[in-house]
Structure 1
Amino acid sequence: MANRLAQCTSPYLLQHARNPVEWNPWDAESLERARKEDKPIFLSIGYSACHWCHVMERESFEDAAVAAELNAHFIPIKVDREERPDLDDLYMGAVQAITGRGGWPMSVWLTPDLKPFYGGTYYPPTPRHGLPAFLQLLESIRGAWSAQRPHLESDAASLLAALDRDPPPAAALPTGEPVRRALETLERAFDPRWGGFGPAPKFPQPTGLELLLRHGSGADRARALRTLDAMAEGGIFDHLGGGFARYSVDAQWLVPHFEKMLYDNALLASCYLEAFQLTGEPRYRDTAVATLDYLLRDLRDPSGGFHSSEDADSEGEEGRFYVFTPAQIEGILGADAPRFCQAYGISAEGCFEHGASVLHRFEAGGATAEDLRARVLAFRDTRPRPGKDDKVLAGWNGLALSALARGHQALGEPRFLEAAGALADFLRAELWRDGGLLRTWRRGHGHTPGFLEDYGAVACGLVDLYEAGFDARRLRWAFELGEILLERFQDPGGGFFGSIARPDLLVRQKPFQDGAVPSGNTLAARALLALARHFDHDPFRRAAEGALRAAAPLLERAPAAVTGMAGVLASALAPGPEVVIAGDPGDPRVRALVAAAHGAPRAGGILSLVEADPALPLHRDRRGTEPAAFVCRQGVCEAPVTDPLRLRDRLTN
């Protein structure tokens, strides 16, 4: 018999709709029931592509004894962290304070008034690795709640108060010192052999890579390029279908955790595009194209939006869809199998479970087998695919919007611009309701008011889309989103709250730390700085600087945790060029100037086309001129440029 999750749209919640646990969604009815029955809440937070979430479901949430304990003595509630990042951030902070670590699945016990009093992550069905059995833990917590409730409630109140403390913002905009220290921290953590930062497991860290590429020295850029090369050669990259897995379990980028996320691929595509603009090396272009093509082929909804993720597991095994043995390749390619195996590191001993190999290029020695890839991919496509989370999230789609728009800019690919335009149209039609963004959409149904991340990411994407195709409607919608950012999320003391005020959220936190996705404050500040320059709008500039002032304590204390915000600070202190191109967009001379501007790296810069919208402030006194590009830096404009080569030279030197 289905529980209340059967009425939800989240694929993660629907996966649990037939567990014997009587799961409830996080809604007013469930929270009122906890208060009325005066029971503690067991809150389980995860997401569809989470491998260990699936494991804990099989081991515990499908177990009759566990279900009986939860159903009788707790109010069990499931939350998709991707639909409610505010709840995930709040209660993850509690779990980290209690245990010193965090992760998913997240397991948190709350008082009936939603205060956390105990928490952890995955718990096994039997005691192991220092963890109690989950049923044993439930029974212990039930006993403690009965015998020591006042003590637990007092601890919960103290913990919540600690989570509600923000250090005061700096009185002035930070200097460039935090940027320098962030770069130094990345240098110290850098692995010179395999690239990346820190030991295994290794995560791509796109905000750090972007900081190195845009604002670092030549040595810093070399570290970023080495990391991009190693990831593209390793097993974390899907050499058949394109796109990147979530992370590598080893230091070599060889064996991935196979789940694929929209946000990773959008952000990494942008990094490879930037590397191509900086170096002109075709390998960065090729990796970016393969990644964007993965999004278009495997994650795109027919409506124009993009799905959230693909699981690591298929047929009950992690990675089964992606790995091969030499015998399997021989069955596909026959006599051509040895060449393919040499090119992609498929060996008899294997590098994964059961003698299988993850495709990689470390030992290729220059061997190529491009003509054979399509045949192996066609075979792989006959395998049962990993599960897909087909919900569409506004913020992650904003990141994809930026990646596609930048793909058109860097590569001149019209199909990327077309896909970006269709995505923007989808967001406007399906996730824009009553003057605000919705967070999530699936199969025609959108819900949940948008978060700071959603507004910031979509606004950034719309700015990038305007600078790719010069449709001023995109820029004006981005301006509207910027106004809502100030109205609904801004703290007058500085910075932005991650969520609107809600009765079911005890603490409105300010997200500053950049994780797998840039923080909401990073995205908001980045968008507002660009919009302030496009529209000469000082309130946006002051709000962005307020976010930087609010982030100053973290920038000073832990710059490696805020590399995205460090990049915004670098752009605020030394803005990139303003490039305004005048002339008829249909004129080949104008198109050549636009192509030159698009192909050049413009860290923190902006680009505008006069004829697209003569009312924009940057276009004053520049309409009706002969085709020319005007390049200005910090209020000082150089002589107009009519030669595309000279324009590119000006933007790269």
Structure 2
Amino acid sequence: MIPAPVLLLCRTSCRPLLLRLGPNRTSWARRTIFLRTALAMATGGKNSHSGSPQYTNRLIHEKSPYLLQHAHNPVNWYPWGQEAFEKAKREDKLIFLSVGYSTCHWCHVMEQESFQNVEIGQILNENFVCIKVDREERPDVDKVYMTFVQATSSGGGWPMSVWLTPDLKPFVGGTYFPPEDGIYQVGFRTVLLRILEQWKRNKTTLLENSQKIMSALLARTDVGVRGEEVPPSSQEVTARCFQQLSESYDEEYGGFSESPKFPTPVNLNFLFSYWALRRSTSEGARALQMALHTLKMMAYGGIHDHIAQGFHRYSTDQRWHVPHFEKMLYDQGQLAAAYAKAFQISGEEFFADVAADILLYVSRDLSDRSGGFYSAEDADSYPSLQSKEKQEGAFCVWTAEEIRWVLPDPVEGIPERKTTADVFMHHYGVKEDGNVNPMKDPHNELKGKNVLIVQYSLELTAARFGLGLEQLKALLAKSREKLYKARGQRPRPHLDTKMLASWNGLMISGFAQSGAILGKKEYVDRAARAASFLQSHMFNASSGKLLRSCYQGQDSSVEQSSVPIHGFLEDYVFVIQALFDLYEASLNSQWLEWAVQLQHKQDDLFWDPKGFAYFSTEAADPSLLLRMKDDQDGAEPSPNSIAVTNLLRAASYTGHKEWVKKAGQILAAFSERLLKIPVVLPEMARASAASHLTLQQVVICGDPSREDTRELLRCVYSTYAPNRVLILADGDSTGFLYRRLPFLSSLEKKDGKATAYLCENFTCSLPITSSQELRRILLP
């Protein structure tokens, strides 16, 4: 059990924090007197309004867009590092750690309310060592202290606010704090003064309690093999995971919660795989229905940007209508692949169109000219060029009047003299007084505005206005183009131009898989360009290590931080996965060779030889109090979940059996969670089936420039068969694959035609030259 913080109890969430001060609440008047007295004590009796406060904000030298957003706060911010740690120890001061990211709405709010407040800045500067961390740049720091916040409260979120002893041990934390006390919320100023008072009076107790908390956290985060090294039954794990997902499934709108509702591609990937293993059963049919219905409802909803493409972060309501408007790269990469797979399975062009829509957005708005991908677009922006304050969603929402002004043209063939705006507004649910439920707009930022949502099918809208289906499609497409141009006149949201290895890996997978499935060479080429970018800018060839991040420079060049941050486990697993996907799409073995090199380095840096599975971080950083193993798939799959499949793929490409053993050891390390609540690890549950069945090697012998080879490859690309790897045997006996897999030399083309073989455990099928026969075998 985690000891409660000694000062106060915090209840945290993504929304504003309620902080309870105990049963004896002082009156507002008494509390105000206390604040004034404590402020005078904390500032040495100085008048905070007299003269200019002195502060040195060191964030101005950083590269992270989030840190630079705070570089002009009247706070003596330090980046995470030795300078701050040594100052805290030398001056015996508590550390105030603030963690967020550049497109975080509540991070912006807390900055404006508290970190730009001169009086609060003075309290912080004179009594604390203040450290600001970009959680996307340093996920290792974020995970340690978020684990503490979640363990000592009922939630977590960003901005994360944690107070540490000079030796970096946390003792109290929360998320967002308003600047001043309210009826139900304690203000940030009060929290600072209470903590300062306790540090002066009860330092010994605080230090003792922080040590107890750390001991409890160490025990809580210890994931590893306890008894026998035996992976759990994949059949039991997948059946229970499906049951738990089915129980939480929203039959009407899709998804797996009421609100807020997140895309969760890991759930969709699991359901696709579950269907593939049980195609002929009712459970398999239901799994596929759940996944396809969810993807359709998301694409119809307001979480999908119908004008400028791509998907917003999540929906605040059950029906995917009103989103939190930020757009994250990791969502785009995973969702592009999910929609491409939905097309691969169903054959419905609708899903292919949505995948193409996502990739258009990323190519246009999140792409650096060097080939890398940017991290995110903000939710907040200025409503107009004259506005002084940003509002959430301002760039994306519409009034009915705006739409009528942009789309005034009458529609030919409609007797009621309806305009294009009338048809568009009907189809996308636009109302004269706005279509946003006030309950989903607590700050009245969306009052009178509309979030576009597909309200009716094309067939119903066409029937309503007496239009032909193709006529309606053309009208809506032209209307969206006009609205896109009109929206381009608005102030754009902030663009986070930080480039992360892990998220670039997810996006490379999205382009590579979509390119292979949809037959779009330009997508595969874009994936290869991004992979080359990673190799040039985020990989140290001499050490064999990945770097975590790089940034767009002022002259549009690519820059590294002054102290380069080495890659974490998630960077390795997502990049390795991307390189495997890119090999299968391009059949260029240079990507395969680099993936195998990185897999060896990952083993060296992160593998736990005692408890098995991979740690999230290297062992070399003494400032990290916990070396953790993620045990939950969230917005991104956990690195160990992806590592299982990566290891199996790597073994299939190299014959290195030690990697198969490691995959089983990861499953054994997480066996308790997989057996009890696999719904929190759906990607690992999916991987457990691949581990149990082993991966099939689909070997194509032929020249990819010839049509007969391309026909067999198209068959493989168009068939959803999750537990297989694709290998091109081009006859080059000196090539990477032939050196690793000697049995390839025994496989030949039959009668001079391109030939396929299905191989497993060094045993191969009879030669197959017909794409129809190959499809039949791939889909048993």
Superposition map of 1:281-300 within 5 A = 281-300=348-367
In 1, Cα distance between equivalents of 2:288 and 2:693: 18
Q: 1:621 to 1:635 in 2, by over 3 A?
A: closer
1:220, 1:109 → 2: CA distance?
Answer: 45
2:616 to 459, 484, 498: 498
Question: Residue in 1 aligned with 2:229?
Answer: 171
Contact 2:311 2:332 in 1 (8 A): yes
Amino acid in structure 1 at the alignment position of 2:525: E
Displacement, 1:624? 5.8
Which among 520, 530, 534 is matched to residue 413 of structure 1? 520
Equivalent residue for 1:203? 262
- Paired residue type of 1:644: S
Contact 2:380 2:392 in 1 (8 A): yes
SS in 2 for 1:324: coil
Shift of 1:445: 2.1
CA distance in structure 1 between the aligned counterparts of 2:393 and 2:183, rounded to whole angstroms: 24
Whether 1:340 and 2:398 are equivalent positions in the alignment is no
TM-score, normalization: structure 1?
A: 0.98
- Please tell me whether residue 57 in structure 1 is matched to residue 111 in structure 2: yes
- With 348-357 and 39-48 compared, the bigger mean Cα shift is at 348-357
Residues 1:81 and 2:188 are matched in the alignment: no
- Structure 1 residue 441 and structure 2 residue 500: aligned? no
Q: Judge conservation of contact 1:438–1:449 (CA < 8 Å) in 2.
A: yes
Instruction: Kindly indicate whether residue 757 of structure 2 is the aligned counterpart of residue 630 of structure 1.
Output: yes
Amino acid at match of 1:602: A
Structure-to-structure mapping, 1:119-138, within 5 angstroms: 119-128=173-182, 130-138=184-192
Matches within 5 A, 1:180-579: 180-216=239-275, 217-315=284-382, 316-335=390-409, 336-352=420-436, 353-364=446-457, 366=459, 367=461, 368=473, 369-433=476-540, 434-443=543-552, 444-446=558-560, 447-493=564-610, 494-501=612-619, 502-579=621-698
**TM-score, with structure 2 as normaliser:** 0.82
Whether the 8 Å contact between 1:392 and 1:440 is mirrored in structure 2 is yes
Q: Which residue in the other structure is 2:412 paired with?
A: none
Partner of 2:739: 615
Which stretch shifts more, 318-327 or 166-175? Answer: 166-175
Q: Cα 1:8–1:451, aligned 2, differ >3 Å: closer, same or farther? A: same
* CA positional deviation for 1:344: 1.6
Cα distance in 1 for partners of 2:249, 2:303 equals 18
Report the secondary structure of 1:152's partner residue. helix
- Would the alpha carbon gap of residues 136 and 227 (structure 1) be closer, same or farther in structure 2, given more than 3 Å must change? same
Cα deviation for residue 364 of structure 1 reads 4.7
Structure 1 residue 632: Cα displacement: 3.0
Alpha-carbon distance in structure 1 between the residues aligned to 2:77 and 2:223? 37
Query: SS at 1:355's partner residue?
Result: coil
C-alpha distance in 1, partners of 2:192/2:490?
40
Shift of 1:525: 2.0
Deviation at 1:597?
0.6
How much does 1:636 deviate? 5.0
Counterpart contact for 1:579–1:629, Cα < 8 Å? yes
- CA contact 2:544–2:598 (8 Å) conserved in 1: no
CA contact (8 A) 1:628 1:640 kept: yes
Separation in structure 2 between the aligned mates of residue 334 and residue 343 of structure 1, nearest angstrom: 16
Report the Cα offset of residue 650 of structure 1. Answer: 2.2
Could you tell me which residue of structure 2 aligns to residue 648 of structure 1?
A: 775
The worse-fitting range, judged by mean Cα deviation, of 545-554 and 190-199 is 545-554
The alpha carbon displacement at 1:633 in A equals 4.7
User: Structure 2: how far apart are the matches of 1:290 and 1:576?
Assistant: 32
2:154 and 2:296 map into 1 onto residues whose CA distance is 34
Q: Is the 8 A contact 1:630 1:640 kept in 2?
A: yes
Instruction: Find the residue that maps to 1:606 and give its secondary structure.
Output: strand
1:167–1:407 Cα change, 3 Å: closer
How many angstroms apart in 2 are the aligned matches of 1:168 and 1:600? 37
What residue is the counterpart of 1:38 in the other structure?
92
Distance 1:246 1:293, change over 3 A: same
Query: SS of 2:130's equivalent?
Result: strand
CA–CA distance in structure 2, aligned partners of residues 583 and 363 of structure 1: 48
Distance 1:58 1:148 in 2: 32
How far residue 2 of structure 1 moved from its aligned partner, in angstroms, is 6.5
Whether the 8 Å contact between 2:224 and 2:613 is mirrored in structure 1 is no
The one-letter amino acid of 2:500's match is L
Unpaired segments ≥5 residues, structure 1: none
| 1:362-412 residue CA offsets vs partner (Å, 9 max, x unmatched) | 335533412221111111112111101101000011101111110111011
SS class of match (2:739): coil
Separation (CA, whole Å) in 2 of partners of 1:409 and 1:510: 33
1:567-613 deviation digits (Å, cap 9, x = unpaired): 11121112343210001222210011111111111212100100174
Closer, same or farther: CA 358–490 of 1 in aligned 2, 3 Å: same
For residue 487 of structure 1, report the CA deviation from its aligned partner: 0.5
Range with bigger deviation, 455-464 or 439-448: 439-448
User: How far is 1:616 from its partner?
Assistant: 4.1
- Hey, what's the Cα distance between the residues in 1 that align with 2:223 and 2:492? 47
Q: Which moved more, 1:25-34 or 1:244-253?
A: 25-34
Task: State the Cα deviation string for residues 155-189 of structure 1 (Å, max 9, x = none).
Answer: 21122122222144152011121221111110000
In the alignment, residue 739 of structure 2 is paired with which amino acid?
Answer: A
Distance 2:701 2:114 in 1: 64
Alignment of 1:160 onto 2:267: no
Q: Matches of 1:645 and 1:486 in 2, distance apart?
A: 41
Could you say if the C-alpha distance between residues 584 and 363 of structure 1 is closer, same or farther in structure 2, counting changes exceeding 3 Å? closer
Cα shift readout 1:449-493 (whole Å, capped 9, x = no counterpart): 000000000000000000011111100100011101111100002
Question: 189-198 vs 437-446, which deviates more?
Answer: 437-446
What is the aligned-residue identity percentage? 41
| 8 Å CA contact 2:748, 2:755 repeated in 1 | no
Deviation at 1:563, TM superposition (A): 1.0
Deviates more, 1:230-239 or 1:324-333: 324-333
CA RMSD of aligned residues (A): 1.5
Q: Say which SS state the counterpart of residue 607 (structure 1) adopts.
A: strand
Which whole-Å CA distance do the structure 2 matches of 1:129 and 1:167 have between them? Answer: 42
> SS where residue 162 of structure 1 aligns?
helix
The Cα shift of 1:47 comes to: 0.4
Query: Which amino acid is 2:270 matched to?
Result: L
In 2, Cα distance between equivalents of 1:297 and 1:423: 14
Measure the CA separation in 2 of the matches of 1:124 and 1:634.
Answer: 61
Relative to structure 1, is the Cα distance of residues 2 and 113 closer, same or farther in structure 2, using a 3 angstrom cutoff? closer
Q: Residues 452 and 524 of structure 1 are in contact (CA less than 8 Å); yes or no, is this contact kept in structure 2?
A: no
Q: 1:103 aligns with which of 135, 157, 177?
A: 157
Quote the Cα distance in structure 2 between the aligned partners of 1:214 and 1:445.
Answer: 40
Unaligned runs of 5+ in 2: 1-54, 276-283, 383-389, 410-419, 437-445, 462-472, 553-557
CA distance in 2, matches of 1:557, 1:333: 55
